[in-house]
Amino acid sequence: MAPSLFDDHGFQDVRNHESGTDFGAADDRTLRMAAPALDGAMLDALVRYQEAFLAHAGTEREPLAVAHQKAQAASGLDLKTVEQGTSMLRAFGGRRWTARKLQDKLEQLKTATGADAEELRQRIRGELLNQERETEALGRRYGEAALALLREREALLVDLHTRMTRLLSQG
């Protein structure tokens, strides 16, 4: 892929290592410039937002809009940052939740024998590799430091992702 015109103008926080026709990588780099920089304080605020949202929408059965307002107030973040941040958490949480489910299935198949079982294990391993690759690609979109921070708190973020998905898919 051709170098970006931004490469020499201070926007080069994600190196352009792409040499093929992976246009997703170019899109990720473009979106990286629009994404807010994630640090520990922002991640804490996003976690506060999700926990407050779950508390208000999950138990009190308030309208989702009211729960969203209360959660945003609890987080201390502006609306744009909340939306961009929760999008990042959904992308990461969804990938890691899927990887964990695949890992669980692989563990269940550990003692299974036969050609069908081996074929299924191979397909699951392939999908696990794909999920890892897609998780690493989030580093292009959000930055390597952000991905490292998300990985540090993976267990908490996957739990929040699961609870948010459960709540929002009741509809």
Instruction: Show the tokens assigned to 2.
Output: 């051709």
Q: What is the pLDDT of residue 64?
A: 87
The ranges assigned to domains in the chain are 23-168
CB burial string 135-152: b at 16+ within 10 A, e below? bebbbbbbbeebbebbee
Q: What is the pLDDT of residue 141?
A: 86
CB 47 within 8 A of CB 160: yes
With a CB cutoff of 8 Å and minimum separation 6, the contacts of 127 are 102
Instruction: Show the tokens assigned to 131.
Output: 């999920």
* Per-residue model confidence as pLDDT tens digits over 105-132: 999 988 888 888 889 999 999 999 999 9
Count the helices and strands in the chain (H runs, E runs): 7, 0
* Per-residue model confidence as pLDDT tens digits over 59-93: 656 788 899 999 999 999 999 999 999 999 999 99
Residues 139, 134: Cα–Cα separation, whole Å: 9
Residues 52, 46: Cα–Cα separation, whole Å: 10
Phi-psi category of residue 114: left, alpha or beta, with phi > 0 → left and psi -120 to 50 → alpha:
left
* Per-residue model confidence as pLDDT tens digits over 40-52: 999 999 999 999 9
Instruction: Show the tokens assigned to 94.
Output: 């969804």
Closest Cα partner for 39 from 156, 154, 158, 143? 143
